[in-house]
Structure 1
Amino acid sequence: MLADILITILLIASTFYLTIVLLRFLLQLARADFYNPISQFVVKATNPLLRPLRKLIPGWGGIDGASLVLAIIIQAVTFVLILIALNGGLPAINPITLVVWSVLNVLDLIVKIYFWSVIAIVVVSWIAPNSGHPAIQLIAQITEPVMRPVRNLMPSMGGLDLSPIVVFLILNVISVMIEHMKMAAGLGAIGLGL
């Protein structure tokens, strides 16, 4: 029972911080408003771990490699701690397998962030169009790089934007692919609930 409680707390805490780190990556990828109060929180929450890592891993072409590497490291440490809690000690695990599991989970979380962000944008467009709330503006900025290419390909529907449906379809296909890769990598077999 204690191990289950520790694993639950660890999963919640690590997923929360991992989401913040990935938000920083996505905010920089989308070139979102740096002065948005939520952006400022994300930067302040991630700077202590990202600053030293940025000295080793510079950004390239608008992609923040240090944030991705930090996310993979956090996920790998989480996996190791969960395996220790499950096994009562440090299990013998192949480092390459650990990295593959971590990369797949990070990719899965990125897809989930986009999925829920698109849902939020669709709901807000119905409830409060033209809202100036910082969170809504930030979500719109994060989803724009995913939505814009689909909007550009779709014909005009007289003011009706059907691009979220196509984006949902694409995100679901990617999610299914990631789930199958997780199973193939043995991630589902250890029963972490991830």
Structure 2
Amino acid sequence: MAFLIMLLQILQLLLTVISWIIIAHAIMSWLIGFNVINTYNEFVRTIWNALERITRPIYNPVRRIMPDFGALDLSPIVVLLILYILNNYVLNTLIAQLASSGY
């Protein structure tokens, strides 16, 4: 069962990477929103499109459930909270239980 623990740890790493991608997307959206950077730059537009393509499938289920707040998008915060709970409580508990049971 060490293989199962290893898979859970890889899943934790993936959830951490997704969390950092969401944070980068949020920061970039603020920078674009406050006109610090603009999407006329090819490099900025490429990064923005990549982050949008990665995060859109993650945000869409949350956006369908949450009420519309107009220009305020709270779905990244909700997704980060869900990822934090999964990563730090659910997966840590599973790994600890598997490790303590002798697997």
Question: What TM-score do you get using the length of structure 2 for normalisation?
Answer: 0.77
Q: Distance in 2 between matches of 1:184 and 1:111?
A: 20
Tell me the alpha carbon deviations over residues 128-175 of structure 1, each in whole angstroms, 9 at most, x when there is no partner. Answer: 246343233222211111111111211111211011111111111111
- 1:182 to partner: Cα distance: 1.5
Match of 1:100 in 2: 4
**Which of 179, 188, 191 does residue 92 from structure 2 map onto?**
179
- 1:98 to partner: Cα distance: 2.3
Q: Distance in 1 between matches of 2:93 and 2:47?
A: 33
Tell me the alpha carbon deviations over residues 98-135 of structure 1, each in whole angstroms, 9 at most, x when there is no partner. Answer: 21122101211121121111111111110124634323
Query: How do 1:1-194 and structure 2 match up within 5 A?
Result: 97-129=1-33, 131=39, 132-175=44-87, 176-186=89-99
Computing the radius of gyration from Cα coordinates, the structure with the larger value is 1
Size of the aligned set, in residue pairs, is: 91
Q: Distance in 2 between matches of 1:150 and 1:124?
A: 20
Tell me the alpha carbon deviations over residues 61-93 of structure 1, each in whole angstroms, 9 at most, x when there is no partner. Answer: xxxxxxxxxxxxxxxxxxxxxxxxxxxxxxxxx
Which aligned segments of 4 or more residues in structure 1 are displaced greater than 3 angstroms? Answer: 129-133
Q: Distance in 1 between matches of 2:64 and 2:12?
A: 26
- Structure 1 alignment gaps of length 5 or more: 1-96, 188-194
Sequence identity (%): 32
- Structure 2 alignment gaps of length 5 or more: none
Q: Distance in 1 between matches of 2:48 and 2:98?
A: 37
Tell me the alpha carbon deviations over residues 22-47 of structure 1, each in whole angstroms, 9 at most, x when there is no partner. Answer: xxxxxxxxxxxxxxxxxxxxxxxxxx
| Residue identity in the other structure for 1:115 | S
| Residue identity in the other structure for 1:123 | I
Q: Distance in 2 between matches of 1:135 and 1:182?
A: 35
